[in-house]
Chains A and B, each alone.
Chain A
Amino acid sequence: MREHILSIVWLTPLVGMFLLFLIPKEKKELIRLVANLIGFAGFLVSLPLVFWFDMSTADFQFVERLDWIPTLGARYHLGLDGISLLLTMLTTVVGFLSILCSWSAIQERTKEYYAMFLLLQAGMLGVFFAVDVFLFYVFWEIMLVPMYFIIGIWGGTRRLYAAIKFFLYTLAGSVLMLLAILALYFKHIEQFGFASFALEDLMKVTNIPLEMQLWLFWGFFIAFAIKIPMFPFHTWLPDAHTEAPTAGSVILAGILLKMGLYGLVRFSIPLFPEAAVAESTVQIIAVLSIIGIIYGALVSLMQKDWKKLVAYSSVSHLGFCTLGLIALNPNGIAGGLLQGINHGISTPLLFLVVGIVYEQRHTREISEYGGLANRMPIYTVVFCIAMLASAGMPGLNGFIGEFTILRGAFEQNVYWAGFAALGIILGAAYLLWLFQRTMLGPITNPENEKLKDMNLREICVALPLVLWCFWIGLYPKPYFDILEKPVAKVVERVRPGYFARAGIPNPLDATIVRAELTAHGVAKP
């Protein structure tokens, strides 16, 4: 059980998808019920990961390793470290909640809908588990098709355009990544004489000149930058987010975008450390991130469409994350990753909030609403918390992430921190203004009189996320503990001796680990 836990986690939704196929498509209620149960089962089987996870090591855990295509050196090779643990839990929670929130929204082709969600879920989990680059690429591509259908079949009016745009952008990025993977793979064969796609093997390659390293770094980077999405590769995002059904937006914002961040930390940076610390790389990515932060915020201010506003706010928020990552110090990277998680909690909430009124009114125009607080008290509270979490209010999760990123950015470059702080102010502006325009004041549009407050199911969807916001906001230590070692490993990889120079104890140091264990009474001194 324990040695196959990762396979079980990603295969659960896939097996569930095949189970769904067995149900006749007329029995919609049964399909909904089964799909929700499978989603919940997916969450349950992922729970043991948390209990069994060993925080005292930066290595991959629960490793599974099987030969898959020996002639190519590709393996079925899974592993989990702190970074992927957090993203996995986010995936299983948000994945289940997104299935739950589709209960009444999806009335047509329900079977296909849930099947696509479960396939997507399997693909996403596979991406976070794969430590073989070939396997990673296959999972990365598998996700494309279900997301295309989710947007294209159940989306809004411009769904066809949005779906193909999403598909082609991501595909164009990923084929360039494929070339970079293959070039690296070939260099590995040249140096070591055997074929392997294993991440640990590819990290040992040293025969790549810096110029080529840079090319390969950018090859990977474009794929991830499109997914994140970074300015100027972000143009697919407003369309996809706006047109996707609520659950699609939730998954897209909650998890798919995090794959870009994950890819940067897991592949781009550790595989090409020299290219990652090169002055040009750092400058370009930092500038793009800052443009993303400011531009995303300014465009959000201008939006008339509620959902589009949330979509553009993602561009801004993920700019923070990439800025943190490229600071390449422990605070920056841990903050960037944690902010990724935060964004994956609070933005789904914002999309759920839009979805609830959209289901009743079928419009997303901000001007159509106003004064909803009078009719919908619970809804107002949830929206308020989501909005404040997103804006970075102390006590909620966004603050922790942004603060840590700012510390990391400040350490690297004062100006970065300055621009990022400006972004926070703008972020508060567009979110508060949105809240004011939609929630506060008297009800001006008589249609809004009929709006119903959140029902029990919707509260069940929102509550875990709201609680999670508070948890990270009030007690983030477990998260930083989980991230500490894998992040330190990345930092040591790109900047060997960083901890020694900075005079900070290196979390990877065996003696410290030992001391910590002693303190906890696990090991004898």
Chain B
Amino acid sequence: MNLSFTETDFFALKPVILLCLFGLGILLTDFLIRDTRYRWLNGVTALVSQGFVAFAVWQHHLHLSEAGRDLVALSGALVVDQFSIFFNWIFIVSTILAILISVRYLEHEGEHRGEYYALMLFAQAGMTILAQGMELITLFIGLELMALSFYVMVGFLRDDRRSNEAAIKYLLLGAFSSGLMVYGFSLFYGISGSTLLPEIARAVTERGSSDPILQLAMVTTSVGLLFKISAVPFHMWAPDVYEGAPTPVTAYVSVASKAASFALLLRIFLVPLADVSELWIPFLGMVALATMTIGNLAAVTQTNLKRLLAYSSISHAGYILLGLVAGNQTGLNGISVYLLVYLFMNFGVFAVITALRREGQAAEEVDDLSGLMGRHPGYAILMLIFMLALAGIPPTAGFYGKYFIFLGLLEAGQYVLAIFAALYVAVAAYYYFRIVKVMFLSDSQQPAQLVLSRGVTITAVVAGVLMLVIGLYPEPFIGLASDSIRLAMH
């Protein structure tokens, strides 16, 4: 085996290297900023890093379209393909949006420290590895790098007990599920003698779906994966973490971490387990159905906005999983479209929540939004757009995610799942419209108050406009997202 570090390896790793360097850089420069008023400079550094990373990913893209085939680096441990590039774009955009909505929030909470941005970049480095990894150990390192950063970020409000509780819960459950996943990894290694995904794929194909060890490996690995995407029955952490974490972190966890975890899940199911799909399609179908059911029904009764969105994000995970259950290209296109739309609509909602204040305190209850239309009509209309998008109602972009997922299911003949998924749209509309009702229909003595910053405004407006523009003219957008996830990825 060739162990030297070549230029190709460097090229493939460039986004990760850049992110780590910038992260370390922020930790250093943070010492130089004595005056707390200038801490936002760290945010600027983090934004600059995204420019560099975006350039590196753009180079990946150029290389791919020139060479016409995937780039394999580090003896097969990393790849650069459409899939990784697509996910890297998602991570870059969500990191930028997360930084934009973080600055003012952290200042307000009195926790504006440089580590925050460094952790964000480290987490993103982990995600990038997840999107590019083709080898179990590498993937695991990426996963843990991401997860560890998030554990700290979730508990970043040191004086807030809910934040601390959320962090410790996340850490304990996360560690447990990682343990199970590693156990599954070890079984995969056991049956194939290799940690490279394509090698494992070969061994899996040889053994066939009836092999009990393979089944055990799949189930234990799935536990870890399903935990990360907050699928039922491993979703319990999500409401607590979403509620306790600083709101920008909640947004980041709900979008970037979920997308990265889906990247890992898709790699595992579409590379090593591609040939035993008869084994996991019914399994994932049941999980997806349960996830949509619990997510949607539990969201109905929530009064805390962040908890409500936690359950809504659980149900979205169920929908995205259905794209994989469909097992055809339409379903996979659905996943990429869905993830991309979900990125913007979720960040839009969380941007508004970040700015929401009541008597100077961060307000997080659904009722705190009451009378938003009277006070901030523009934001109320943006929120309406996000709610319609989350519910998947045209002419917003949210519709197209559901469109492809439904079509994929129908193509695969999964009629029952399709009907359930469709009817849950109506259930979801009920709780999203509770928010609409509060904003538009309720009169309030104390109308909702938004403390706006430029970052929040930009995020909300960009997201809202995109939701409408994509909804009305989705052609370029669909072209962008489709075929980034393919059935045969090795």
Contact = CB atoms under 8 A, between A and B. Distances in A.
A164 B423 contact: no
Given A71-B479, A152-B440, A160-B437, A168 B422 contact: no
Interface in A173-211: 175-176, 178-179, 182-183, 185-186
A288 B384 CA distance: 37
Given A149-B440, A171-B429, A142 B475 contact: no
B406 A141 contact: no
Contact of A168 (B388, B426, B479): B426
A408 B475 CA distance: 46
A467 interface: no
A176 B419 contact: yes
B87 to A, nearest CB: 22
Contact of A172 (B403, B423, B474, B479): B423
Contact of B437 (A138, A152, A168, A185): A152
B437 A164 contact: yes
Contacts of B473: 68-69
A60 interface: no
A70 B475 CA distance: 7
A172 B424 CA distance: 9
A175 B411 contact: no
Given A69-B474, A168-B430, A178 B437 contact: no
B428 to A, nearest CB: 10
Interface string A116-160: 000000000000000000000110011011001100110000011
A69 B475 contact: yes
A186 B425 CA distance: 21
Contacts of B425: 171, 175
Contacts of A160: 437, 441
Contacts, number: 75
B394 A164 contact: no
B433 interface: yes
A23 interface: no
Contacts of B395: 138, 141-142
Contact of A153 (B403, B430, B433, B441): B441
Contacts of B403: 178, 182
Nearest to B407: A182
B426 A172 contact: yes
- Looking at chain A's contact residues, the main secondary structure is helix
B393 interface: yes
Interface in B417-471: 418-419, 422-423, 425-426, 429-430, 433, 437, 440-441
A153 B440 contact: yes
A185 B407 CA distance: 9
A179 B422 contact: yes
A145 B423 contact: no
Contacts of A171: 393, 425-426, 429
Contacts of B93: none
A167 interface: yes
B393 A178 contact: no
A384 B83 CA distance: 70
Interface in B67-100: none
Instruction: Determine which residue in B388, B403, B407, B473 has the highest number of CB atoms from chain A within 10 A of its CB, and name it.
Output: B407
Nearest to A175: B422
Contacts of A72: 478
Nearest to A151: B441
15 contacts: A71-B482, A138-B394, A138-B395, A141-B393, A159-B441, A163-B437, A163-B441, A164-B433, A168-B426, A168-B429, A171-B425, A171-B426, A176-B419, A176-B422, A178-B422
Given A68-B473, A176-B419, A185-B407, 10 more contacts: A69-B473, A138-B395, A141-B395, A160-B437, A164-B433, A164-B437, A167-B429, A175-B425, A179-B418, A186-B407
Give 9 nearest A-B pairs by CB, closest first: A172-B426, A175-B422, A138-B394, A152-B441, A171-B426, A182-B407, A175-B425, A183-B410, A141-B394
